[in-house]
Amino acid sequence: MIEAAFVTFLVGLLGATLRVATPLLFATIGELYTERSGVLNLGIEGIMFLGAFVGFAIAAKSAEAGLAGYLWLGLGGAIVVGVVMGLLMAFFSVTLGVNQHVAGLGITLLSTGLALFGFRMIFGQSSVLPSIEPFAQLSIFGDLPILGPIFEQYLLTYVAFIVLLPLAWWLLYRTNYGLELRSVGENPEAADAAGVNVFRVRYITLALGAALMAIGGAFLSLAQLGAFSPGIIAGRGWVCIALVIFAKWDPIRAMWGALLFGGVFALQLRLQLLDLVDIPFEFFLALPYLVTIAALALAGRNVAYPGAYLKAYRRE
Amino acid sequence: MSFKIERIPAPLWARPLIPLMAIVLTFVLTATLILLANANPLDAYYYFLIDPLSSRVSAIEVLVKATPLLLTGAAVTFAFVGGYWNIGVEGQLYAGATAATAIGIHMQNVSAWIAIPLMLIGGFVAGMLWALVPALMKVKLAIDEVVTTLLLNSVALFMVSALLNGPWRNPISQWPQSPDIAATAIFPKLIPRSRLHLGFILALVIIVILWFVLTKTAFGLKMRAVGLSPHAAQFAGINVQQTMLISALVSGGIGGIAGVSEIAGIHYHLIDAISPGYGYTGIIIATLGTLNAWGVALAALFIGLIDTGAQTVSRALGVPTYLGDVIQAALLLVTLGMLLLQRYRITRTRSES
C-alpha cells in the first residue's frame, strides 16, 4: 500500500516537474541565445510578464468574439510583443550601445508597467480575476499503467522538450547562423572582419530570444493557469538568468537546470502540503538562487562568460 | 545627405538640459497611452505635475514618497560612481528593514535616543552584509556583480516571507505581519498630522554626505577614477579592489537605511510589501540624476511627484495609476539614450558624389 502511494507521489512529482520546467526552458533558451550573442537581457522578467498578459488579453477577447483558435491567437500575440521588446532592447544595447544592465531593467520596468496598465484598462478593477478555458493537457500515453500521468502534459511542454531543445542545440552548434551568433558573442571584431554583420545577428538574436521569453510567460497564462494576475511571473525571469549561468551557456545543460528547479519547486509544494519537514518552504524557493551564486563562487575566475558579454560593439 | 556621429563632448552648460529634454520627450511618448485611456494628455500632466503641489497635504505627501527614493537613489549612485553595478539595493533595503524590525520590537522601555540610532546602525550593517558576498566575489574573483546582486533580491524576499510565515507571524490574525516596533523606536513626525517623518531629514543628510564624499574628498576622486576606468585607476596607483569594495558596501548600507526608514517612519512592522521596487526605482533616479548628488535629489523629488500624481490622475481622469510606472520606466530608457548626447554629436554631412 505504502509503495503504491509512493509511486503515485513520484509519478505526480515527475509530471509536475515537467510542467514547472516548461516556461523556464522557453525563457532560459531565449536568454541563453541572447547572451551567447554578447548581450545580457535583464528585460526577461518583464518580457515574460508582458507575454503572459498580451497572450491572455488577446485570447480572452478572441474567445468573447467566438473565435475557435483564441488560444493560438493569444500565443501569436505574445510572440509579436516579445519580438517588439527584443528589438527595443536591441536598439538600446546594439545601436546605441548603452549600459546593458540599466537598459534591461528599463525594459523590465516598462513591460511590467505596460502590462499592468493594459490589464486595468481592458479588464477593469473587478474582484474576480477574469479567466479563460486554457489549453487542454494531451494524454498521449494516458492509458499507460502507472506512468500515464507523467505524459499528461500540455502541447507546449512537448514542444519545449522535443522540438525547441534539439532545435536550439542544432541551430547553435550546427548552422551558419549559430556560428555567426557565437562569433559575434565571443569576438565581434574578428566576426566583423570575416564579413559577419554583427549588428544584424544581434538584432535577430535578441528578437528571437525575447519571443521565447514571451512564450514562456504566455504558457503560464494560456496553459497552466488560464488567467492573468500581477504575481504570475514572480521572479521566474530571474531564475532563468541564474539557470543560463548554471548551464554554462549550453542548451542541454539548461534543460537539466530547468528540470532541477522544476523538481525542487514541485517537491516543495508537495512537502508544504504534507507538513512533514520543519524547514520553511521559502528555503527551497531560494535554493536555485543560492546554488547559482555558490556555483559562480566555486567556478571563480573560470566562469566562461561569452567573450563580448556586456560589451557594445562599435565600428571605429 | 547622411548623418555622422562624432565623438564630441557636449558643452558643460548643456549637460543639465539633457534630463529635462528626456522628461519632455517621455511625456510626449506616453501621451499615446493617455489618449488610449480617453483622457486629455494635457489634463493628465496637470494632475501629474501641478495638482500635487497645489495643496499642502499632497505636497507633503510628495516628500513622503520621495524619502525612500532619495535613499535608494543615493545608494545606487554611490555604487555606480565607483564602477560597481549594484542592482541589489532592493534586497539590501529588505535586509535593513528586517534588522530594524528585529531591533525595534525589543526596544520597549528604551529611550528613543538609543532605540533609533541602534536601528539605523543595525540597518546599515544588515544592508552591508547583504551586499558583502557579491562585492567580495567581484573584487576577489572578478565575478560579474549584476547577476549576483540581482539574485540576492529574490533571496531577501524569501527570507522576509519565511520570517513572516514563521517566527514573526501574527499569532492572533495569522496574518504574515511582524509584531509592531516599540513606540520609542518610531521615527518622530516632522509635521504634526502628516506622514512626513525623520527619514526625510536623514535622506537629505545622506545626499549632502554623498555630494561631499564624491566631490570634496580624495576617496571620491578615487571612486570616480575606478568608475571611469579600473585599469587606468590601477595604473595611477589606486587600490581598485579596496575602493570598489568600499563603494559596494556603503551602497548596501544606504540601501539598508532606506529599509529602516520605511519600517520606523511608515509601517512600524514588517510586511513583505514594504517596497514596491524602491531599489529598482533607485536605478532610475541615479540615471536621471546623472550620478550627481543634487541631480539625484531632484530626480527623487520628481519621481515622488510622479508617484503622487499618478494617484491624482487616476482619481480625476480614471487613468490607471500604473501610468506612473510606465512613465518612470520610459523616462529611464529615454534618459539612458539621451545621455549619449553628452559624449556624441550627430551632424549632417553632404554625401560626396
Q: From CA B188, how far away is CA B201, in angstroms rounded?
A: 11
Top-confidence range, A124-138, B7-21, B115-129: B115-129
Query: In this predicted structure, which of A219-233, B77-91, B172-186, B198-212 has the lowest mean pLDDT?
Result: B172-186
Cβ–Cβ gap B337/A101 under 8 Å: no
CA A140 → CA A150, A163, B46, distances in Å?
10, 16, 59
Q: From CA B152, how far away is CA A297, in angstroms rounded?
A: 14
Residues forming a β-bridge with B5: B346
Within 124-183 of A, beta carbons closer than 8 Å to B belong to: none
Cβ–Cβ gap B154/A98 under 8 Å: no
Q: From CA A34, how far away is CA B166, in angstroms rounded?
A: 40
B329 closest CB neighbour out of A109, A238, A293: A109
pLDDT tier, B139 (very low <50, low <70, confident <90, very high otherwise): very high
Mean pLDDT of B212-220: 96
Spatial CB neighbours of B277, under 8 Å, sequence gap ≥ 6: A109, B90
Predicted pLDDT at A205: 98
Predicted pLDDT at A149: 77
CA distance B39 to chain A (A): 12
B348: helix, strand or coil: strand
Q: How far apart are the first and last CA of chain A?
A: 73
Domain A12-125+153-302 falls in which CATH fold? ABC transporter involved in vitamin B12 uptake, BtuC (1.10.3470)
Q: Does A42 touch chain B (CB under 8 A)?
A: yes
Return the H-helix or E-strand segment holding A154. strand A152-154
ipTM over the 0.90 cut-off: yes
CA distance A92 to chain B (A): 7
**What are A16-69's pLDDT values in tens digits?**
999 999 999 999 999 999 999 999 999 999 999 999 999 999 999 999 999 999
Mean pLDDT for chain A? 91
Residues forming a β-bridge with B2: B349
pLDDT tier, B353 (very low <50, low <70, confident <90, very high otherwise): very low
Mean pLDDT for chain B? 92
Q: Note the pTM of the prediction, 2 decimals.
A: 0.93
Q: Does residue B26 carry a pLDDT above 80? A: yes
Cβ–Cβ gap A297/B150 under 8 Å: no
Predicted pLDDT at A7: 84
Cβ–Cβ gap B151/A293 under 8 Å: yes
B151 closest CB neighbour out of A106, A114, A238: A238
Classify residue B340 by its DSSP letter.
Answer: G
Mean pLDDT of B108-130: 96
Strands B2-6, B345-349: parallel, antiparallel or unpaired by DSSP?
Answer: antiparallel
**What are B27-73's pLDDT values in tens digits?**
999 999 999 999 999 999 999 999 999 999 999 999 999 999 999 99
pLDDT tier, A4 (very low <50, low <70, confident <90, very high otherwise): confident
Beta carbons of B297 and B88 less than 8 angstroms apart? no
Contacts B277 to A, Cβ<8 Å? 109
Mean pLDDT of B14-18: 80
Q: Does A121 touch chain B (CB under 8 A)?
A: yes
A96 closest CB neighbour out of B150, B323, B340: B340
CA distance A31 to chain B (A): 13
Beta carbons of B255 and B181 less than 8 angstroms apart? no
Contacts B153 to A, Cβ<8 Å? 238
Within 88-107 of A, beta carbons closer than 8 Å to B belong to: 92, 96, 98-99, 101-103, 105-107
Spatial CB neighbours of A55, under 8 Å, sequence gap ≥ 6: A74, A75, A77, A78, A214, A217, A218, A221, A222
Predicted pLDDT at A117: 96
**What are B288-343's pLDDT values in tens digits?**
999 999 999 999 999 999 999 999 999 999 899 999 999 999 999 999 999 888 77
Query: In this predicted structure, which of A222-236, A297-311, B128-142, B189-203 has the lowest mean pLDDT?
Result: A297-311
CA B94 → CA B250, B253, B303, distances in Å?
16, 11, 21
Q: How far apart are the first and last CA of chain B?
A: 10
Cell of A305: 562568460
Of residues B171 and B76, the one with the higher pLDDT is: B76
Cβ–Cβ gap B166/A99 under 8 Å: no
A113 closest CB neighbour out of B133, B329, B336: B329
Residues forming a β-bridge with B345: B6
The amino acid occupying position A7 is V
Return the H-helix or E-strand segment holding B32. helix B17-36
Q: What Rg value do the Cα atoms of chain B yield, rounded?
A: 22
Domain range annotation of chain B: 81-290
Buried-exposed string B216-234: b where 16+ CB fall within 10 A, e elsewhere: eeeebebbbbbbeebeebe
Cβ–Cβ gap A109/B284 under 8 Å: yes
Q: Does residue B287 carry a pLDDT above 80? A: yes
Can you list the alpha helix ranges (DSSP code H) found in B217-321? 218-228, 230-235, 240-262, 278-288, 293-317
Cell of B44: 493628465
Cβ–Cβ gap A113/B328 under 8 Å: yes
Count Cβ–Cβ pairs < 8 Å, chain A vs chain B: 126
Predicted pLDDT at B347: 65
Instruction: Please give the share of chain B, as a percent, with pLDDT higher than 70.
Output: 95
